[in-house]
Amino acid sequence: MNIKQHNIHRLVFSALLAALTCICTMVIQIPVPATGGYINLGDSIVLLCAWYIGGVYGVAAAGIGSMMADLFSGYAVYAPATFVIKALMALAAYLLHRHIHGRKGQYLGAFAAALILLIGYFTYESLFLGYGMGAAAAIPANLIQGFTGCTFGAVLSHVMEKNAFLRKMLKESK
C-alpha cells in the first residue's frame, strides 16, 4: 500500500469511527436527572479511536463523533466542550498506549481518559455554564460514564483483536 492509499484508508477508517462514536453515544442514553445529561457507550469508541488510529486521525474522530452526538441529541451547549474533552481523552489514551505497550498501556490510557472526562466536564459546567460547585452533582454520573467507557472499550478491544478481518484492518490503519 503506497502512502496515498494509506492516508485514504486512515481517513475513511477515522470517518467510520467518528460515525460509530456518534451512534454509540446516541443509541443508548441513560438520563441523569441531577444534571440533565446522560450516560452512554460512546467513550468506549473514543478509546478505540485512540488505540487503533491514534494521532491526529484518532483524536479528530473521537472529538468530532462525540460533538456530533451532542448536536444531534439537543445538547449543543455542550458540543464545544465535548469536542475538546473527548479529543483530549483520545490523545491521553493514545500517548499512554503508544509509550506503554500492551494491555497495561490501554488500561492506563483509559484511566487517564476517565480523569479527563471528570475534570473536563466539571470545569466546563462550573466555570463556563456558571454552575459553580453545583457542577459537583455530575461527578457520580461522570464516574459511571468513565468506568463504562473503560470497561466496554477494553472488551471491544479484546474482541477486535481476536477477529482476523478486524485485526488486518486495524493493522492497515496504523
Name the pLDDT band for 39 (thresholds 50, 70, 90).
confident
pLDDT score, position 9: 83
Q: What is the pLDDT of residues 95-116, one digit of tens each?
A: 999 999 888 999 999 999 999 9
CB 41 within 8 A of CB 81: no
pLDDT score, position 167: 67
The pTM is what?
0.91
One-letter identity of residue 5: Q
- Say if domain 3-173 classifies as CATH 1.10.1760.20: yes
Q: How many CA atoms, within 13 angstroms, populate the side-chain half-sphere of residue 91? A: 11
In the predicted model, is pLDDT for residue 174 greater than 70?
A: no
Q: What is the mean pLDDT of residues 78-87?
A: 97
pLDDT score, position 103: 87
pLDDT score, position 102: 84
pLDDT score, position 7: 84
Name the pLDDT band for 169 (thresholds 50, 70, 90).
low
Domain segments of the chain: what residues? 3-173
Q: What is the mean pLDDT of residues 129-150?
A: 91
3-state secondary structure the chain: CCHHHHHHHHHHHHHHHHHHHHHHHHHCCEEECCCCEEECCHHHHHHHHHHHCCHHHHHHHHHHHHHHHHHHCCCHHHHHHHHHHHHHHHHHHHHHHHHCCHHHHHHHHHHHHHHHHHHHHHHHHHHHCCCHHHHHHHHHHHHHHHHHHHHHHHHHHHHHHHCHHHHHHHHHHC
Name the pLDDT band for 5 (thresholds 50, 70, 90).
confident
> d(Cα 55, Cα 61) in Å, to the nearest integer?
10
> d(Cα 114, Cα 69) in Å, to the nearest integer?
19
